[in-house]
């Protein structure tokens, strides 16, 4: 009995176990360098776009394993238009709104064909990939457009440049005290949340293992504090993390607590049954792709800020990063299964592998080979563990 319990637990939290194994592996291989404050900070700011795109991609994949191939090109196009606007000296807030609107419009354009004309998403977004890559080149006239001089504020807010960190309001000198305070606040809020959940479940008479919850709370709290302390030792909380945190929080809530979130899972699980339950399934598809456009626009802002420029090649293969993160994070290629936290773990896993291999000085071509094999292994593992259960 004990043994099957352990196996069940391993399957449920398999990705976290793998993540831990990989972290330990790279810690040993890099002599602990991967856990240094600067590297931890880089892990977040380099991969901010993956987190945001992967969350959007999750919604598309939930509807039935549908992917969006166009997002790399959309990131580039929105970034390009944004960079040009930033150089005209327009109001920054207006530019941000305009960029988000362009992304949303692109998403609605693609969503229309997918949802209402029933063109396969693979084809719609393949055309989007070509169209917006082409248009990026056209608007940039094939050149790089720098924004480092014209829009330093924009760069800072969206996580680029040398001081894209939340300033330390407490003036801690070498240590960023704000980062630690923020960490403690989040940790306490998290603990309160878990406590409330526990009380709720007990009220409903559900069986809960307080020991398991305690372990979970301790683990997550220590991860939060680890990040907070590492940030404080470098330059503080990167602004890109704030954007990631906001998006993750919003979409986690939507997918787990709202009716529209439930509709995504239902459509992916069985579209016919969902339609016969009085749910507008076309609207669900439309929202998934429209939303993907919106999030691509945000990722576009983060990208041009981090690079302090826009170039026609930006965003290449971003769709693959997002798709990989989803599948590694446990989303089903048939739809209907997958969670936001899972996808975050998937994105982190890919990020750590990238970072670890870069520190070890592995050739970038081999890095691709390793990442590809990791994706395959994750999906095989997922399929095999499901088969065992059945």
Residues that bind other proteins (CB under 8 A): 4, 200, 203-204, 206, 257-260, 262, 265-266, 269-270, 272-280, 332, 336-337
Nearest approach, Cβ of residue 206 and other proteins (Å) = 8
Nearest approach, Cβ of residue 47 and other proteins (Å) = 30
Write the CB contacts of 218 (distance below 8 Å, at least 6 apart in sequence).
none
The torsion defined by the Cα of 157, 161, 162 and 165, in degrees rounded to 10, comes to 20
Distance CA 188, CA 44 (A): 22
**Contact between residue 274 and residue 290 where contact means Cβ atoms under 8 Å apart:** no
Nearest approach, Cβ of residue 250 and other proteins (Å) = 13
Looking at beta carbons only, is 336 or 346 nearer to other proteins?
A: 336
Distance CA 388, CA 390 (A): 5
Tokens of 112: 């229309």
Looking at beta carbons only, is 265 or 318 nearer to other proteins?
A: 265
Cα torsion angle, 131, 136, 141, 144, sign: negative
Nearest approach, Cβ of residue 340 and other proteins (Å) = 16
Nearest approach, Cβ of residue 86 and other proteins (Å) = 36
Looking at beta carbons only, is 368 or 386 nearer to other proteins?
A: 386
Cα torsion angle, 30, 344, 317, 158, sign: negative
**Contact between residue 300 and residue 99 where contact means Cβ atoms under 8 Å apart:** yes
Looking at beta carbons only, is 185 or 384 nearer to other proteins?
A: 384
Nearest approach, Cβ of residue 389 and other proteins (Å) = 9
Nearest approach, Cβ of residue 104 and other proteins (Å) = 20
Which own/partner contact pairs does 276-283 have at CB distance under 8 Å and 24+ positions apart? 282/115, 282/116, 283/115
Looking at beta carbons only, is 196 or 218 nearer to other proteins?
A: 196
Longest dimension (CA), the chain: 68
Looking at beta carbons only, is 197 or 317 nearer to other proteins?
A: 197
H-assigned helices in 63-120? 71-87, 92-116
Looking at beta carbons only, is 170 or 334 nearer to other proteins?
A: 334
């Amino acid at each position: 009995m004990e043994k099957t319990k352990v196996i069940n637990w391993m399957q449920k939290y398999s990705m976290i176990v793998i993540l831990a194994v990989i972290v330990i592996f790279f810690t040993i291989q890099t002599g602990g360098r991967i856990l240094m404050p600067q590297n931890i900070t880089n892990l977040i700011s380099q991969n901010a776009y993956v987190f945001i795109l992967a969350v959007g991609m999750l919604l598309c994949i939930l509807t039935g394993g549908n992917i969006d191939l166009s997002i790399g090109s959309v990131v580039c196009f929105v970034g390009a238009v944004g960079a040009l606007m930033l150089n005209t000296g327009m109001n920054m807030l207006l530019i941000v709104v305009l960029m988000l609107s362009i992304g949303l419009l692109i998403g609605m354009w693609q969503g229309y064909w997918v949802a209402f004309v029933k063109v396969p998403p693979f084809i719609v977004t393949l055309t989007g990939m070509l169209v917006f890559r082409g248009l990026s080149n056209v608007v940039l006239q094939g050149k790089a457009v720098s924004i480092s001089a014209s829009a330093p504020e924009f760069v800072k807010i969206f996580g680029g440049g040398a001081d894209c960190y939340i300033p330390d309001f407490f003036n801690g000198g070498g240590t960023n005290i704000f980062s630690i305070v923020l960490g403690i606040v989040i940790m306490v809020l998290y603990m309160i949340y878990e406590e409330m959940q526990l009380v709720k479940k007990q009220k409903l008479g559900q069986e809960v293992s307080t020991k398991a919850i305690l372990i979970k709370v301790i683990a997550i709290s220590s991860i939060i504090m680890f990040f907070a302390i590492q940030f404080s030792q470098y330059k503080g909380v990167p602004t890109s993390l704030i954007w990631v945190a906001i998006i993750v929080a919003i979409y986690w809530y939507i997918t787990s607590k709202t009716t529209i979130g439930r509709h995504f899972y239902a459509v992916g699980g069985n579209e016919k049954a969902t339609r016969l339950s009085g749910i507008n399934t076309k609207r669900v598809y439309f929202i998934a792709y429209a939303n993907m456009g919106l999030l691509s626009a945000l990722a576009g802002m983060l990208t041009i800020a981090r690079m302090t420029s826009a170039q026609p090649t930006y965003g290449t293969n971003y769709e693959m990063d997002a798709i990989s993160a989803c599948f590694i994070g446990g989303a089903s290629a048939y739809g209907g299964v997958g969670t936001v936290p899972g996808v975050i773990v998937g994105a982190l896993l890919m990020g750590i592998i990238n970072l670890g291999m870069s520190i070890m000085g592995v050739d970038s071509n081999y890095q691709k080979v390793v990442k590809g094999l990791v994706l395959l292994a994750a999906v095989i593992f997922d399929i095999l563990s499901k088969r065992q259960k059945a």
